[in-house]
Amino acid sequence: MKDLHAEIDNNVKHALAEDIGAGDLTASLIPGSKELNASVISREDAVLCGVQWFEACFLALSSETTIHWFAKDGDAVQAGHKLCEIKGQARALLSAERSALNFLQMLSAVATQTKYFVDAINGTQAVIVDTRKTLPGLRLAQKYAVKCGGGMNHRFGLYDGILIKENHIIAAGGIKSALRKAQEIAPPGVFIQIEVESLQELQEALTAGASMVLLDNFTLNQLSDAVALTRQKTCERVTLEASGNITLKNVRQVAETGVDRISIGSLTKNIRAIDLSMRFRESA
């Protein structure tokens, strides 16, 4: 993963600028010298994620803020669980509260959703992977959350992997020519994956030497046939990835077809923030 600390600083800088702008008018009601204590409570079962983003929001406004955590990223927390206690300058706590919670709620949601899918396929050979269907500007953050939930990262962008999709195949003149061109231009260590939409296209890709194949919107029967065809066609290891219309209801069946990877865009795209509450109290 790229420099996560730099990415966190960048995310937090933009979030605070967006929210505070020229200044927090409401926080100016509070005396500058006043201190507050606060705690964050989870209102539902979840996988915690986003601790570093949360802390960075408060520390960006006051380096004297102290935060004590009772859980860490990747931990399962229960409804009613106290996640952390915070102490610091009142204005800084009040101004950073919304941005900090936004990060913690969103990233915990991604980690929690990922854990649901990971648990659903437990005992199979398949792994859950993410996609590029992420919130703009928050890709590294969301992909970090996927890993906290037990999933794996696919490529981070268009620069670190080659995924030949339908339109690329058409523009390149077919599966064989697209793969050949990709093999010519791929930098060392960069994977080449090709998307197919039928067993006939899969056979063509295998014949052309594909080592990673994305099976797009295959039925369960087609996935099983694709696994059998691949094992029959080549003695070399070919990674098969299922994608498209995969939910918690059918992901176990998809995994049991024998595919290696299952990519799910909803891990980072269709998320519902985890319900967290931040409670303030006077400093002793």
Has 147 been annotated as catalytic?
Answer: no
Section 206-235 average pLDDT = 92
The pLDDT of residue 181 is 95
Pick the catalytic residue: 97, 130, 204, 216? 216
* Helical segments of the chain, H only: 4-20, 51-61, 90-120, 139-148, 166-172, 175-185, 199-207, 220-233, 251-255
Pick the catalytic residue: 9, 19, 87, 98? 98
Q: If we measure between CA atoms, which residue out of 122, 47, 116, 124 comes closest to residue 264?
A: 116
Has 19 been annotated as catalytic?
Answer: no
The pLDDT of residue 1 is 60
Has 195 been annotated as catalytic?
Answer: yes
Pick the catalytic residue: 82, 87, 133, 233? 133
Question: Which tokens hold the place of 53?
Answer: 């983003």
pLDDT tens string 125-152: 999 999 999 999 999 999 999 999 999 9
Q: Give the chain's domains with CATH numbers.
A: 4-118+271-282 (3.90.1170.20), 123-267 (3.20.20.70)
Has 133 been annotated as catalytic?
Answer: yes
Pick the catalytic residue: 55, 97, 195, 201? 195
- Report how far residue 283's alpha carbon sits from residue 35's, in angstroms, rounded to the nearest whole number: 6
Locus of tokens 């992909």: 143
Pick the catalytic residue: 82, 87, 132, 165? 165
Please name the amino acid found at residue 68: H
Q: What is the pTM of this model?
A: 0.94
Calculate ∠ Cα 210-216-221, nearest 5°: 100
Confidence label for 237 from pLDDT (cuts 50, 70 and 90): confident
The pLDDT of residue 264 is 97
- The answer to whether residue 229 scores a pLDDT higher than 90 is yes
Has 43 been annotated as catalytic?
Answer: no
Locus of tokens 């601790």: 51
- Report how far residue 160's alpha carbon sits from residue 176's, in angstroms, rounded to the nearest whole number: 22
Element containing residue 15 per DSSP (H, E): helix 4-20
